[in-house]
Amino acid sequence: MPEDTTTAESAWNAIQTCREVYNHALTQEYRPAPDHNKPSYNTMQNMLPKWKREWSEWKGVYSKCLQMAVRRIKNSESVLDSLEERGFDVGRLKWKSPREYRSIKYNQSGFDVDNNTGQDGHAIVNLSKIGNFNLDYHRPLPTKQNQNAKITEVILKKQKTGDWTVSIVVKYDADYPEKPTVENISIEDTVGIDLGITKFIHDSDNRAFARLDEEKDRERVERRHRSLSRKQYESENWNKARQSLVRAYERLRNRREDYREKLACWYTQEYDAVFLEDLDVASMTQQDRNARNISAMSWYATIQAFERHGNKNGCHIVKVPPEGTTKRCAKCGVGSDKPLWVREHSCPSCGFTVDRDYNSSLEVQQLGLKKLGVEFEKEELGLGQSEYSSNTMSVEAGISEGSHHRDALLSNTAVNLAIEAENLMREHRSPTLKERTAKAVSE
Ligand SMILES: [Zn+2]
């Protein structure tokens, strides 16, 4: 919460100045340059003094924040690039309106976080050239005496609901656990994961997780869209309805994130090495553009969550190329074409018959083991010898029959996951969202 209305005002003005700098750098310097000759972040940053001479009001904002606004172009660009490298059809960065640009980032300097306020979980954050914000925090903040943890970034954001949030980025010095050496990894402590469109995850121990059941969230979003459309534009009721719609979207986004984080946390605690397919656009081509957007972003975010939790929990995360994993037989290696709607892998060469995604995950495991350098014989992999028999098994059966798996889940810290997963398993839903919903979610 800003200390007073003046602080709130100067914060919003500072954010909008950052937006002007962002838009200026993007549309005047970055976009007009030919692809092979885009100005670097440093080049654009070095133009800032000149810009400030031209627009003196830009001097009113802490200068490092303006540099961060310029860097934002490069950061977004590199995300788009890595999506594009994987064959994904990405748009390009656009000029941002005030509604689309809502945050300011302090990096390394210009901020002070005082959590010695005499009140538990309460801190006062001072932002240079803006003022003080009162902050209630839920995770411990490092003290100034702590040499191993340091606050490196403070991001102030005005949410679309009108609430202010302060994110504090803390850097801990390498207290990550060591990952096991390759010689010490046994095959049963590794897992291949098939990230799918119909199912969220199918793994090489024949465990399956459905997609998050978003039906209620989507209904809520739809309802609030309808309610908004009945209000008079920009009236007080319209504003209220809009904020409640934004909250519905946020809730959906948070649930998705939560689901990913729990799965990533559980897998990286349970295994020494997790193998995942790299983002695969080819498997998404049957979706419409918006749904594909969402799938790709979700896939991308999932890989990142696994990598983050892998570091924290001492687990190798190995990405393997996705090409062909759905076609090749995990047992004999012979490829056979099958359209997406054929849910069973039945090998014409050796007769190996299992769920399509299970076959992929077994293939992913083998590719991962090779890439990581773990030696193995095919016989060690227990192909199709899981407790679920080699026949195609429904996702529902995956958890309800697999008490062993449920125990494994419950014995873990992510207890909620087991409960939630069961609810989620009941149906697997198509990830396709209604277009309007999709657009707003991906914004
Ligand atoms: Zn085969």
pLDDT above 70: percentage of residues in the chain: 81
- Name the residue type at position 149: A
Q: Rounded to the nearest whole angstrom, what is the distance from the C-alpha of residue 327 to the centroid of ligand 1?
A: 10
Model pLDDT for residues 247-283, shown as the tens digit of each residue: 898 898 888 888 888 899 999 999 999 999 887 766 6
More confident site: 8 or 300: 8
Q: What is the pLDDT of residue 406?
A: 30
Q: Rounded to the nearest whole angstrom, what is the distance from the C-alpha of residue 210 to the centroid of ligand 1?
A: 27
The two three-digit tokens of residue 257, written as one number? 């994130």
Task: Give whichever of 9-18, 128-137, 379-388, 394-403 has the largest mean pLDDT.
Answer: 9-18
Q: Rounded to the nearest whole angstrom, what is the distance from the C-alpha of residue 335 to the centroid of ligand 1?
A: 8
pTM of the model: 0.63
What is the DSSP pairing of strand 131-136 with strand 122-127? Answer: antiparallel
Of 295-309, 319-333, 374-388, where does mean pLDDT reach its minimum? 374-388
Q: Rounded to the nearest whole angstrom, what is the distance from the C-alpha of residue 120 to the centroid of ligand 1?
A: 61
More confident site: 89 or 399: 89
Residue 384 and residue 401: Cα distance in Å, rounded? 17
CB under 8 Å, gap of 24 or more: what pairs does 158-165 form? 158/11, 158/12, 158/15, 158/102, 158/103, 159/102, 159/246, 159/250, 160/99, 160/102, 160/242, 160/243, 160/246, 161/243, 161/246, 161/247, 161/250, 162/243, 164/1, 164/2, 164/8, 164/11, 164/133
Q: Rounded to the nearest whole angstrom, what is the distance from the C-alpha of residue 350 to the centroid of ligand 1?
A: 4
Q: Rounded to the nearest whole angstrom, what is the distance from the C-alpha of residue 346 to the centroid of ligand 1?
A: 8
Q: Rounded to the nearest whole angstrom, what is the distance from the C-alpha of residue 205 to the centroid of ligand 1?
A: 19
Q: Rounded to the nearest whole angstrom, what is the distance from the C-alpha of residue 387 to the centroid of ligand 1?
A: 20
Q: Rounded to the nearest whole angstrom, what is the distance from the C-alpha of residue 366 to the centroid of ligand 1?
A: 14
Residue 70 and residue 65: Cα distance in Å, rounded? 9
Q: Rounded to the nearest whole angstrom, what is the distance from the C-alpha of residue 436 to the centroid of ligand 1?
A: 43
Q: What is the pLDDT of residue 370?
A: 95
387 pLDDT more than 70: no
295 pLDDT more than 80: no
The two three-digit tokens of residue 344, written as one number? 């069973």
Q: Rounded to the nearest whole angstrom, what is the distance from the C-alpha of residue 345 to the centroid of ligand 1?
A: 9
Q: Rounded to the nearest whole angstrom, what is the distance from the C-alpha of residue 280 to the centroid of ligand 1?
A: 23
